[in-house]
Structure 1
């Protein structure tokens, strides 16, 4: 082969040789015809679809054998968001006071807590709503917890 032909092939300017190009794909495991379902859908190769498709996995929820506790947290900056997230992730209810925070940062904390509730199937409650107090207090409660509004108010020292 000449140098010019080699250069054309290197830069993709030479005509494509389909015989050698197909041989490249035969080397890759996902194009192998041994029926590996991990790489390609079985119906592309004419196999029975059910034979290579794993059964759908249903998540198994663990029942908590303990009663969740209420953790009271006073947050002063967004960097303290882990004080809310870690106990909630462990299955405890968290009551957090946002009174000392600026308006922009407390909105970020509320958004963070709402995301936690969505991801872990919990619920969020505005504890200070309806009370005669200037404080902004919220609570996030896990799915399995049965905690009343009055218990949350006591934990936040509103009663």
Structure 2
């Protein structure tokens, strides 16, 4: 086969080959008389072909009957980020104090917590904002948790 002939066949520029798959059309199941010529190949085939399968119905999701707890965490370094992430992932509100953490780690914790809230549609609060003192306290609250800001401040011992 020449290069040009091969290219023509590849791009469909040659006449169509009129050969058919006779073995397929010789089968009586596919003849023109349709259902009259059909014979099942397996003993149970008629039972499955007679009725369509029942539609799958699913029950609507039930609301979660879980009241979130308020968990406190006092991480010392960024390796303790699991203390914040795991309870939040389980649906609990987490209060964490970053007063005794280095400034660089505190920024990382805040970024980590903001990412958690973004991914899980939660909220993040700066509980120490506007309170006298040097404390740096934050809270992350999961979506659907009915916990007020004042309840979080009481749990963090800021009120």
TM-score (norm 2): 0.61
Query: What is the distance in 2 between the residues matched to 1:61 and 1:136?
Result: 39
1:138 equivalent in structure 2: 138
1:105 equivalent in structure 2: 105
Pairwise CA distance, 1:20: 8.7
1:90 equivalent in alignment to 2:90: yes
Q: Secondary structure at the match of 1:81?
A: helix
2:123 equivalent in structure 1: 123
Pairwise CA distance, 1:86: 0.5
Q: Deviations over 1:60-106 (max 9, x none)?
A: 87632011010000011111111100100111000000011111111
Q: How many aligned positions are there?
A: 109
Q: Which runs of 5+ in 2 are unaligned?
A: 12-59
Query: What is the distance in 2 between the residues matched to 1:153 and 1:85?
Result: 20
Q: Which runs of 5+ in 1 are unaligned?
A: 1-14, 23-59
Query: What is the distance in 1 between the residues matched to 2:61 and 2:135?
Result: 36
Change (3 A) 1:142 1:72: same
Query: What is the distance in 1 between the residues matched to 2:154 and 2:102?
Result: 25
State the superposition RMSD in angstroms.
2.3
2:74 equivalent in structure 1: 74
TM-score (norm 1): 0.61
Query: What is the distance in 1 between the residues matched to 2:75 and 2:134?
Result: 16
Over 3 Å off, 4+ runs: 15-22
Pairwise CA distance, 1:118: 0.4
Larger radius of gyration: 2
